[in-house]
Amino acid sequence: MTDPEFHRIKRLPPYVFADVNAMKASARTAGEDIVDFGMGNPDQPTPRHIVDKLVEAVNDPKTHRYSNSRGIPGLRRAVAAYYGRRFCVDLDPEKEVVVTIGSKEGLANLAQAITGPGDIILVPNPSYPIHPFGFILAGAAIRHLPVGQDFTFMEQLARAVKHSVPSPTALVLNYPSNPTAQVVDLDFYREVVAFCRKHDVYILSDLAYAEIYFDGDPPPSILEVDGARDIAVEFTSMSKTYSMPGWRIGFAAGNRTLISALARIKSYLDYGAFTPIQVAAVAALNGPQDCVDEIRALYRARRDVLIEGLTGAGWRVPAPPATMFAWAPIPPNLHHLGSLEFAKLLLREAKVAVSPGIGFGEYGDDHVRLALVENQQRIRQACRNIKLFLNRCGAAMPALAAVPPPPAQILSLARAQA
């Protein structure tokens, strides 16, 4: 039998990161030391008291049964308490909170729950892949809102709503943003909420980096805006805040209709996260929060080392105010390569792995993303390698570093890849 072309699988383009991952694996097999800024996979252990709580809970056989697909009540209450403390938002844990198996699962299942074939969904571009693909898998048509282009976000949004037939069902937001690290304030949310209420557009806000911020005020929640709950639901996650990426635990909170749709579809699909994980998540949210401060401080220190190192290497990269990513414009001399070929060149010549921006959408192709998942010493090592590489190919930016004449060999290599 020839391979069938399954309707949904056909809609998933080849995995852009696969090329770089394959090169990384073969370089490592060949004994090369690759500094890996590729995947945003937190490298720190989960704080001890959270692990201890998991172990305690798993020793109770009652926790081995099917759990509750909306999440155990104690965890929903802990999420509501977090929103109360952190954002002064008062949530009903019964009707306005659902526990998800990671926020990615919640986003994908909410997309399934609310989308009909051909519904139009507005998604910024570049964006974290589940934001468009959760909806593409659900049969939606995506209208991309280019980020960082010639219009402001509100102009892009107004234009998209005006020219979309049928009218858009929902808008996805993600601030602090993966991959761009852009942050927004409450006024931004006020404007978007007022606009979306007027045009009957639901909002799905992804606040995965709520606690990973370095400069300025802590990121706000869209639910702080009066009336937001009429149209908005927000996703938060334990993955980054408590270094629990493998545990798969996150939350959706806000609009009752959306929360109930998500709960209903989940009741058909899963029995909830393993109870001991939910019990440990309660301990994380209700327990001491110094571990969150430490995690934030660790990323901030790495960010500072990375940005200083890259600046010294002649690569001007804006310091991310939040998230665990630097969004780095490809140096002008190598811009023509595009992000995938630039990432491959960086891997081959500087032994540094990054994520090509094209993996986050076409408007990301002039950037690469560096995740802060290596320690400071290895970040410095990467920056030294990058400096040598940029100098060799004449791509170091002159105002920041002396530029020796570029040897022909690497320049022609760069051109061959264009």
Ligand X SMILES: Cc1ncc(COP(=O)(O)O)c(C=O)c1O
Can you give the binding site for ligand X, defined by CB under 6 A? Answer: 40, 102-104, 128, 174, 178, 206, 208, 237, 239, 245, 250
By beta-carbon proximity to ligand X, the closer residue of 252 and 396 is: 252
Distance CA 215, CA 175 (A): 14
Asked if 401 and 313 count as a contact pair (C-beta separation under 8 A), the reply is: yes
By beta-carbon proximity to ligand X, the closer residue of 63 and 103 is: 103
Output the smallest distance, CB 395 to ligand X, in A: 29
Q: Alpha carbon 11 to chain centroid distance?
A: 21
Output the smallest distance, CB 134 to ligand X, in A: 10
By beta-carbon proximity to ligand X, the closer residue of 207 and 390 is: 207
By beta-carbon proximity to ligand X, the closer residue of 125 and 385 is: 125
Output the smallest distance, CB 363 to ligand X, in A: 16
Nearest to 107 by CA among 70, 124, 132, 140: 132
By beta-carbon proximity to ligand X, the closer residue of 250 and 309 is: 250
Distance CA 65, CA 57 (A): 12
Q: Which residue has the CB atom at the shortest distance from ligand X?
A: 102
What angle is formed at CA 179 by the lines to CA 208 and CA 26, rounded to 5 degrees?
110
By beta-carbon proximity to ligand X, the closer residue of 266 and 351 is: 266
Output the smallest distance, CB 245 to ligand X, in A: 5
Pair of tokens at residue 320:
């991310």
Tokens 């790495």 sit on residue: 302
By beta-carbon proximity to ligand X, the closer residue of 241 and 385 is: 241
Asked if 38 and 371 count as a contact pair (C-beta separation under 8 A), the reply is: yes
By beta-carbon proximity to ligand X, the closer residue of 208 and 393 is: 208
Output the smallest distance, CB 162 to ligand X, in A: 28
Output the smallest distance, CB 410 to ligand X, in A: 33
Output the smallest distance, CB 59 to ligand X, in A: 26
By beta-carbon proximity to ligand X, the closer residue of 178 and 339 is: 178
Output the smallest distance, CB 317 to ligand X, in A: 19
Distance CA 260, CA 70 (A): 9
Output the smallest distance, CB 283 to ligand X, in A: 18
Alpha-carbon dihedral angle through residues 223, 227, 231, 236, given to the nearest 10 degrees: 0
